Amino acid sequence: MNNVRFATSLHILTLLTYMKDELLSSEFIAGSININPAVVRKEISNLRNNGLIESKEGKGGGSRLAKPASEIRIADIYKAVKPASVLGKSNTPNPACPIGKDINQHIDNLYQDTENFLLKKLENMTLEKFTKKFS
């Protein structure tokens, strides 16, 4: 993963956890992360599609957590933003080569195993626990 989306989503969710009684606007959130409000809205849209956030349109609108921070796992955030396997993508090797012919199957297995292993770890970490680290 060579992007900033996990950090952005975690930042958004941390803010929502900290101010859980208010609806936060994309502009407010963007000001904290220091990025463009439209990017925040797109990321919120994704988190909403993943059931982590709910939003209210119109004046006075904004977003809040869709469920308690204790029920949002870091794995949920990771799954919502990851563009590829932890270990990356595959080539399209030469099928005429005995190694090339089969390697993608073995690589896929390795990727899957690694992914599952990582998810097990991230499933034991919650947003609540993360936000508690802030004094």
Partner DNA sequence: TGTACTGTAATAATAAATATTACAGTATGA
Partner DNA sequence: TCATACTGTAATATTTATTATTACAGTACA
Q: Which does 112 bind (CB under 5 to 8 A by kind): a second copy, DNA, none?
A: none
Does residue 72 touch a second copy according to CB under 8 A?
A: no
Closest distance of CB 128 from a second copy, Å: 13
Q: Which does 66 bind (CB under 5 to 8 A by kind): DNA, a second copy, none?
A: none
The Cα–Cα gap between 135 and 132 comes to: 7
> In sequence order, which residues have a C-beta less than 8 Å from that of residue 19 and are 6 or more positions away?
none
Could you tell me how many helices (H) and strands (E) the chain has, helices first? 6, 2
- Return the number of the residue (44 or 77) whose C-beta is nearest DNA: 44
- Return the number of the residue (111 or 126) whose C-beta is nearest DNA: 111
Sign of the Cα pseudo-torsion (28, 29, 32, 38, in order) = negative
- Return the number of the residue (18 or 59) whose C-beta is nearest a second copy: 18
Buried-state track 22-49, b at ≥16 Cβ within 10 A, e below 16: eebbbebbbeebeeeeebbbebbebbbe
Does residue 21 touch a second copy according to CB under 8 A?
A: no
Does residue 119 touch a second copy according to CB under 8 A?
A: no
Chain centre distance of CA 82: 6
Name the residues that contact a second copy, by CB under 8 A.
Answer: 1-8, 10-11, 14-15, 18, 31-35, 74, 78, 83-94, 97-100, 102-103, 106-107, 109-110, 114, 117-118, 121-122, 125, 130, 133-135
